[in-house]
């Protein structure tokens, strides 16, 4: 019976209605603090995981993992592509021609990067084909001067499929009449939408048309490579350049979007640290709760000691009581956090459609909706940290209870 004493009495103290309502209020506050801290931490980490996933799939699905260029231009690019495809980490290769320019139509001007692509090869290195809202990449036939625009870029220009746009490139044409900027009229044949900032500053045209516009002849700007591990892009790029020789140069995705990925990882760690402090504050509120309970239960402790309870048993009673408060708060917080993490995207979408509010503007942020991905490893770590802090918060009050001297207490009873 004495072996079960800490569990039975500790749980009884949790269920019993206390005469001191202030102690009950502090216990409830500690429980609610743990619940909210755990729930918010699960939700926030899930949203940060969602941003991380969207960065990898949307942004890095459109941006090449690695680009290989030649200082003299790549003329015979197909043998090089086949050579690079033999590498273990390379799973796709496609040629490209990049041209920075400005689109103009009806007095509206928007700058953008125009990628000259080969429609049959592009699906090997990009997700653009699966995000076409109108038209198809197959419409980019050589000599037809068709172009595919991002949804935000088309909206800013006020154009749709079938409309004509003028592309001005930052190069001059020298004619007998003088120096004039180079420009070319394109027909909008498609619109893509990936829900990212690339929708506002990216366009696609046929690679042969862009070779003509850039006066490259048969050369291409370089090769875009898709890797099976995007985090190996830097080392793989260096290995490829070492293999090809000094006439080549390479750029991986960390040059253009590495800072964004690092910022997300840093924010995730800092937010996790800050919210863990909130959990710690809630957990250590249990200290004040148990200290007041110990003070209130001095007589009970003294009686238990006189009938044979050991200091270890007395200590166990209040450890059980504190852990019970913590476990209830953590369990409810985990359930609430998982529910919010799984439904937050739909909830934010409903709020946006109902009240006409847009929380994330793709023109400002790199995505237009709030993503969320629940990782069970995060949930496990959060529960372990919260439980550990709760256990630590019970030790001092329980130790004080075990030090109560029955003779001193019962002298005045």
Residue 1: the pLDDT is: 42
Residue 399 has pLDDT above 80, yes or no: yes
Can you give the residue ranges of every domain in the chain?
A: 4-58+261-410, 64-253
Residue 225: the pLDDT is: 92
Report d(CA 145, CA 106) in Å as an integer.
19
Residue 18 has pLDDT above 70, yes or no: no
The average confidence (pLDDT) of the chain is 82
pTM of the predicted model, to two decimals?
A: 0.68
Residue 253 has pLDDT above 60, yes or no: yes
Residue 185: the pLDDT is: 92
Residue 333: the pLDDT is: 93
Q: 156: which residues sit within 8 A by CB, 6+ positions away?
A: 108, 110, 200
Closest CA to 225 of 335, 364, 80: 80
Averaged pLDDT, 19-30? 67
Report d(CA 300, CA 290) in Å as an integer.
14
Q: Cα separations (Å) of 179 from 172, 174, 175, 210, 216?
A: 6, 5, 6, 21, 20
Residue 130: the pLDDT is: 84
Residue 114, token pair as written in the block: 């125009």
Residue 379 has pLDDT above 80, yes or no: yes
Residue 177 has pLDDT above 60, yes or no: no
Residue 156 has pLDDT above 80, yes or no: yes
User: Among residues of the chain, what percentage have pLDDT more than 70?
Assistant: 86
Q: Three-state SS string across the chain, please?
A: CCCCHHHHHHHHHHHCCCCCHHHHHHHHHHHHHHHHHHHHHHHHHHHHHHHHHHHHHHHHHHCCCEEEEECCCECCHHHHHHHHHCCCCEEEEEEEEEEEEEEEECCEEEEEEEEEECHHHHCCCCCHHHHEEECCHHHCCCCCCEEEEEHHHHHHHCCCCCCEEEEEEEEEEEECCEEEEEEEEEEEEEEECCCEHHHHCEEEEEHHHHHHHHCCCCCECEEEEEECCHHHHHHHHHHHHHHHCCCEEEEECHHHHHHHHHHHHHHHHHHHHHHHHHHHHHHHHHHHHHHHHHHHCHHHHHHHHHCCCCHHHHHHHHHHHHHHHHHHHHHHHHHHHHHHHHHHHHHHHHHHHHHCCCCCCCCCCCECCCCCCCCHHHHHHHHHHHHHHHHHHHHHHHHHHHCCCHHHHHCCC
Averaged pLDDT, 135-156? 91
Residue 180: the pLDDT is: 57
Q: 308: which residues sit within 8 A by CB, 6+ positions away?
A: 2
Tokens 């990628």, located at residue: 115
Residue 67 has pLDDT above 60, yes or no: yes
Report d(CA 122, CA 67) in Å as an integer.
14
Averaged pLDDT, 229-235? 84
pLDDT in tens, 198-228: 888 899 999 999 988 888 888 888 999 998 8
Residue 37: the pLDDT is: 86
Yes or no: say if 120 and 161 are a contact pair by the CB < 8 Å rule: no
Residue 114: the pLDDT is: 93
User: How would residue 148 be classed by pLDDT, with cut points 50, 70 and 90?
Assistant: very high
pLDDT in tens, 259-316: 767 777 787 788 878 878 878 887 777 888 788 878 777 777 787 777 777 888 888 8
Residue 158: the pLDDT is: 92
Residue 2: the pLDDT is: 46
């Amino acid at each position: 019976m004495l072996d079960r004493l800490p569990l039975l009495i500790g749980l009884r103290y949790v269920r019993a209605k206390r005469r001191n309502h202030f102690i009950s209020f502090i216990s409830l506050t500690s429980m609610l603090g743990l619940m909210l801290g755990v729930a918010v931490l699960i939700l926030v980490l899930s949203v940060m995981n969602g941003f991380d996933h969207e960065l990898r799939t949307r942004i890095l699905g459109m941006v090449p993992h690695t680009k290989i260029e030649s200082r003299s231009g790549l003329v015979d690019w197909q043998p090089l592509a086949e050579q690079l495809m033999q590498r273990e980490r390379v799973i796709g290769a496609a040629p490209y021609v990049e041209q920075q320019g400005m689109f103009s139509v009806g007095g509206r001007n928007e700058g953008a990067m125009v990628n000259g692509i080969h429609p049959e090869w592009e699906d090997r290195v990009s997700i653009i084909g699966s995000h076409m809202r109108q038209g198809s990449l197959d419409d980019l036939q050589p000599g037809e001067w068709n172009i595919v625009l991002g949804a935000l870029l088309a909206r800013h220009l006020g154009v749709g499929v079938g409309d004509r746009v003028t592309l001005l490139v930052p190069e001059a044409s020298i004619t007998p009449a003088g120096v004039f900027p180079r420009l070319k009229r394109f027909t909008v044949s498609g619109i893509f939408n990936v829900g990212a900032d690339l929708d506002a500053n990216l366009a696609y045209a046929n690679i042969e048309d862009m070779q003509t516009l850039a006066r490259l002849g048969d050369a291409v700007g370089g090769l875009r490579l898709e890797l099976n591990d995007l985090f190996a892009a830097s080392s793989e790029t260096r290995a490829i350049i070492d293999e090809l020789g000094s006439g080549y140069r390479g750029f991986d995705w960390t040059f253009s979007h590495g800072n964004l990925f690092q910022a997300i990882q840093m924010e995730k760690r800092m937010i996790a640290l800050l919210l863990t402090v909130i959990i710690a504050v809630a957990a250590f509120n249990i200290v004040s709760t148990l200290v007041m309970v110990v003070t209130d239960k001095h007589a009970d402790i003294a009686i238990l000691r006189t009938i044979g309870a050991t200091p270890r048993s007395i200590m166990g009673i209040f450890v059980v009581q504190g852990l019970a408060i913590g476990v209830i708060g953590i369990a409810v917080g985990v359930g609430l956090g998982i529910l919010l993490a799984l439904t937050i995207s739909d909830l934010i979408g409903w709020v946006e459609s109902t009240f006409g509010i847009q929380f994330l503007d793709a023109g400002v942020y790199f995505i237009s909706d709030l993503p969320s991905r629940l990782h069970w490893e995060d949930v496990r770590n959060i529960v372990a940290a919260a439980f550990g802090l709760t256990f630590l918060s019970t030790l001092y009050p329980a130790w004080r209870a075990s030090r109560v001297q029955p003779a001193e207490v019962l002298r005045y009873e």
